[in-house]
Chain A
Amino acid sequence: MKIRINGQLEDIDADSLDAALQLLGYGDAKVATAVNGEFVPEDNRAKYILHDGDRLEVLAPMQGG
């Protein structure tokens, strides 16, 4: 399945968002997620099924003004 992760096209073998994050190396990192522009809460990641062509955004705390 090909999905776009933070703008980069990736081929990934995972059904759920939670599984995808594990495969991508996020582990227990403090991140927030959105798929196709919609926020996906942490509690919903395990049951959230990704589809070919989805756009996944994985964000973390960063410096800001």
Chain B
Amino acid sequence: MLEFYGTKLKNPLMLGTAQYPSPAILADAFIRSEASVATVSLRRESGNELAGQDFWKLIQELNVHILPNTAGCHTVKEAVTTAHMARELFKTKWIKLEVIGEEDTLQPDVFRLVEAARILSEDGFQLFPYTTEDLVVADRLLEAGCEVLMPWGAPIGSGMGLNNVFGLRSMRAHFPDTPLVVDAGLGLPSHAAAAMELGFDAILLNSAVAKAGDPAAMAEAFSKAAIAGQTAYEADPMEKLDMAEPSTPVIGKAFLS
């Protein structure tokens, strides 16, 4: 069973909470998909409007594990301070550590990511670093105390799917005992199935569900696809062949020509 930092999870779908048409549709997406984890963020709160309070109430009612992020942070200091604020606010050691390095692709700044991971890990955080498929960076993140790795499938919000299957497969092979999550860039349930068929432990997505015409139905589709891919990986798929190999037995075939 999927396990992050000693916490067992039933469903490999981790779902973001942004960009839904309404709070009710957001809730419906979680209910129909049975997603196990909800990612959330922190933003400025006005003392007049207190808009974040209603959202917090909604999230608590979903009864899922909360994974706060450091989205939008570009420096180590920003990410570390945001993580501390999130830990107090959400009462969790979990943090989805994002340190963005490039605006067009929202590619993580892996140097700052490793530095922030080291600081936060020493302070007792349980980290979910948003990273690339770079094996050396992955090694450094593990050395820094991360016990989960979350390489991108494609740039955040792009919906492109798995841009570097070779790199993701290499990660799975190099880190057979580390929980791996494909985070970001998925657009279709088939991308989720493909990630899970590679042996990934979970998928994390937001835009592909929230921006669908029917977000709740799409969330359910992603959940089913992820579970299908997981089951397929565990069932040990056949090897690919370059040439055809008849599936119907040749022995016993009638001579009719």
Q: Which parts of B83-111 form the interface with A (CB within 8 Å)? A: 84-86, 88-90
Q: Indicate which residue in B16, B81, B88 contacts A65 across the interface (CB closer than 8 Å).
A: B16
Residues of B within 8 A of A30 (CB): 52-53, 56, 89
Kindly report which residue of chain A lies nearest to residue B42, judged by CB atoms. Answer: A59
Kindly report which residue of chain A lies nearest to residue B17, judged by CB atoms. Answer: A63
Which residues of B line the A interface, CB within 8 A?
Answer: 16-20, 26, 39-48, 50-53, 55-56, 59, 68-69, 71, 77, 81, 84-86, 88-90, 156-157, 184, 205-207
Flag if A61 contacts B50 (CB, 8 Å).
no
Q: Which parts of A7-59 form the interface with B (CB within 8 Å)? A: 7, 21, 24-26, 29-34, 37-39, 41-42, 57-59
Flag if A65 contacts B56 (CB, 8 Å).
no
Distance between Cα atoms of A63 and B88 in the complex (Å) = 17
- Give, as a whole number of angstroms, the nearest-CB distance from A39 to chain B: 4
Flag if B40 contacts A42 (CB, 8 Å).
no
Flag if A62 contacts B89 (CB, 8 Å).
no
Flag if A29 contacts B45 (CB, 8 Å).
yes
Q: Indicate which residue in A31, A38, A63, A64 contacts B45 across the interface (CB closer than 8 Å).
A: A31
Flag if B81 contacts A39 (CB, 8 Å).
yes
4 more contacts with CB within 8 A, not counting A37-B77, A61-B40, are A6-B45, A24-B47, A26-B47, A64-B71
Flag if B47 contacts A62 (CB, 8 Å).
no
Flag if A32 contacts B56 (CB, 8 Å).
no
- Give, as a whole number of angstroms, the nearest-CB distance from B80 to chain A: 8
Pick the most buried of A38, A58, A60: most chain B CB atoms within 10 A of its CB: A60
Residues of A within 8 A of B44 (CB): 6-7, 57-60
Kindly report which residue of chain A lies nearest to residue B43, judged by CB atoms. Answer: A62
Distance between Cα atoms of A6 and B40 in the complex (Å) = 20
Kindly report which residue of chain A lies nearest to residue B44, judged by CB atoms. Answer: A6
Q: Indicate which residue in A26, A31, A61 contacts B59 across the interface (CB closer than 8 Å).
A: A61
Residues of A within 8 A of B46 (CB): 6
Residues of B within 8 A of A42 (CB): 88
Residues of A within 8 A of B69 (CB): 64-65
Residues of B within 8 A of A41 (CB): 84, 88
